[in-house]
Chain A
Amino acid sequence: MTKSKKLTGAEIFLECLKEESVDTIFGFPGGAVLPIYDALYDSSLKHILVRHEQGAVHMADGYARATGRPGVVLVTSGPGATNTVTGIATAYMDSIPMVVFTGQVPTALIGNDAFQEADIVGITRPCTKHNYLVKDIKDLTRVIKEAFYIATTGRPGPVLVDLPKDVLNASIEYSYPESVELNSYHPTYKGNLRQIKKAMDIILKSKRPVVYAGGGVVLSDAAAALKTFCEKLKLPTTNTLMGLGGFPGTNKLFMGMLGMHGTYAANMAVTNTDCLIAIGSRFDDRVTGKTEEFAQYAKIIHIDIDPTSISKNVKVDVPIVGDVNNVLKELIKLIPSAKGLKEYKANIADWHTQVDKWSSTHKLSYKDSPKGRLKPQYVIEQLYKATNGDAIITTEVGQNQMWAAQFFLYDKPRTYLTSGGLGTMGFGLPAAIGAQVAYPKRTVVDIAGDGSIQMNIQEVATAVQYKLPVKVVILNNIVLGMVRQWQEFFYDKRYSHTCVSVAPDYVKLAEAYGAVGLATGKRDEVASVLKEAMKVKDRPVIMDFRVDPAENVYPMVPAGQPLNKMLLV
């Protein structure tokens, strides 16, 4: 430890962020955090002033998803803190590393129903990986160090640190702890070698293997290892929504996404496989459909860093607890000397033929009509062309999210940022802003629904303020499309409260904010609108694509049905 002069809690806070190599924080001020905001006045730390605290959290989340580094949020006590809850829960469900700092009333007032007091530690206990209330300035540096450590190690997740105002005002000699001592927290990184060998054995004895890879691949930066592994063993591969980009979307072995809106090939392959290799995925109900019939003929191998994910929903045969990247590298090492490799490759030839057949007979498609209404899928295909596939895509929630998953191909990890676990409408725009802050030169596009975009539309002002050229593609179908789709299929077309046709003129709205607004409902104008939007480099662009309100997402496996019971176009 290096000792130095006395600093206030607020100053120490900023020093700690420097130690943690934080370059940007997303925040919104208020009484309880005024000491920090005052210290920020002289600091070189980049602070993005948001328009709503939920926006700050999604921005930090987008920043973290795009970079792999923890997102950092700073808000005030009471309403500032409670406004972060949806964002924190979103990050928690998708295992996103993040540290949220909330102001708190002075320690002497805690529990007194003081002005702007909220028990944010109590409120966020079930939706954070861990959280802290710092009651004594002596604990401040240790807690911040632990918070970053916990957020970024093991299965990542959000950590909240509640900072009472008197702690921020107190002063103490500053020194940053060099290491973390937590005797109750030891994530497992290395997989058990015996289990890894057993897994390899089962794979090589299989005739119909499938890889089902999830967000864990992206989180552990294992995309390269996954590609090598799958290519060496010629494994047909599918991604979950969270896994998209973890395996190249244009690779021959890629079958597309699986699950409720997965491709025909992926869902059929998973239904018929005799060896399912689940990698960094968690058998979510939107993926498995009816669990009893999910991969029912398969021996299941499951690699995940979180033991609670294993055998939670579906019983697995070979659990391997460890970091996905580590375990994949171990598996790859075993390949050259593996017994039966040749026979294996001969044995799986028929399976490849079968998978190819499924892929070609039921490609992802939609009924395009050059004369009729503009189709949302067409807009996404055009976006893919306009960006050469080289963009960071964020999404809102609903049909827009699914079409973005289906009709844009993600070749690289950290390029499809979506709220998969919680399904938070309003995520996409702030997440795009966060990603754009991290990568000012890259193309960042929020694929949005007209319902969702309204949920955090205020952040357009943030993007304008910081000259962030985020692109928003609104697939404007004047309905809460995904809910409308369920009403059409399962509620006898009783469209109860899903029409949102009373909406702002998005072109005018964009202009009112100081952004660029473009709109079209014509197929042959889509490419030119996108082209024009891509030229804008100094402010956000909102594109209003008026698309067919009757369009549905296919394939669809009705909730609770087995994956091979798909409704097709």
Chain B
Amino acid sequence: MRHTISVLVINEFGVLSRISGLFSGRGFNIESLTVAETVDPKISRMTIVTSGDEAILEQITKQLNKLVSVIKVHDFKGEPHIERELLLIKVTANAETRAEVLRIVDIFRAKVVDVSPRAYTIEITGDEEKVEAFKELLRPFGIKEIVSTGRIAMPRTPKHHK
């Protein structure tokens, strides 16, 4: 089971290594990890995508919480939230296929950010489902390279207050 976990940490040197060390040392899996400052420059947010059964996820959350540098751990599982990642995809695009690639780019509201005679570099943002569908459609043309930011997430603001 895939989980997206948000971890608020004290923004100090070595903190990334504490977190990644915990995952590697205990055999937990990291599928992606992003880090950046929050509105408070003394605090950073890490968004970690990981997987495991319930017991493993429980351990991951508890172990993260135990680190002295960790302020808060939040698992988005089962809660309305927004997820995004950004990808740069370099795809083969020659005279014959160019139009078709552009059509797909259009449908997905992606952007061509670099053009060469034989390839397009495309920027796309979205949740996992959208990004995966996009990659699937481009694959037949020949994907040369993909760079991804990894996933970030934020809870949705409740629409109705009870």
- List residues of A whose CB falls within 8 A of some B CB: 121-122, 125-126, 129-130, 133, 150, 182-185, 306-308, 311-312, 315
Contacts and interface: CB of A to CB of B under 8 A. Distances in A.
A206 B59 CA distance: 30
Interface string B16-27: 011001100100
A4 B49 CA distance: 50
Interface residues of B, number: 21
B68 A182 contact: yes
B68 A130 contact: yes
B63 A183 contact: no
Interface of B: 9-10, 13-14, 17-18, 21-22, 25, 55, 58-59, 62-63, 65-71
Contact of A312 (B14, B59, B65, B71): B59
A122 to B, nearest CB: 7
B68 A311 contact: no
A424 B68 CA distance: 26
Contact of A184 (B21, B22, B70): B70
B10 to A, nearest CB: 6
A307 B9 CA distance: 19
A447 B112 CA distance: 74
Contacts of A130: 67-69
B55 A185 contact: no
Given A125-B17, A125-B21, A183-B71, A311 B66 contact: no
B69 A184 contact: yes
B66 A150 contact: no
A18 B13 CA distance: 29
A308 B58 CA distance: 9
A307 B68 contact: no
B38 to A, nearest CB: 14
B14 A125 contact: yes
Contacts of B10: 184
Contacts of B9: 184
A274 B51 CA distance: 34
A308 B14 contact: no
Contacts of A308: 59, 62-63, 66
8 contacts: A126-B25, A133-B13, A150-B68, A184-B9, A184-B69, A184-B71, A308-B59, A308-B62
Contacts of A129: 68
Contacts of A184: 9-10, 68-71
Nearest to B9: A184
Contacts of B17: 122, 125
A150 B70 CA distance: 14
A184 B12 CA distance: 13
Contacts of B22: 126
A371 B144 CA distance: 82
Nearest to A127: B25
Contacts of A312: 59
A89 to B, nearest CB: 12
Contacts of A150: 68
Contacts of A122: 14, 17
Given A121-B14, A125-B17, A184-B10, A306 B68 contact: no
B21 A307 contact: no
Given A125-B21, A183-B71, A312-B59, 14 more contacts: A121-B14, A125-B14, A125-B18, A126-B21, A126-B25, A129-B68, A130-B68, A130-B69, A133-B14, A150-B68, A308-B62, A308-B63, A308-B66, A311-B55
A160 to B, nearest CB: 12
Nearest to A155: B66
A308 B10 CA distance: 21
A121 B17 CA distance: 11
Nearest to A131: B14
A311 B59 CA distance: 9
A126 B22 CA distance: 7
Contacts of B55: 311, 315
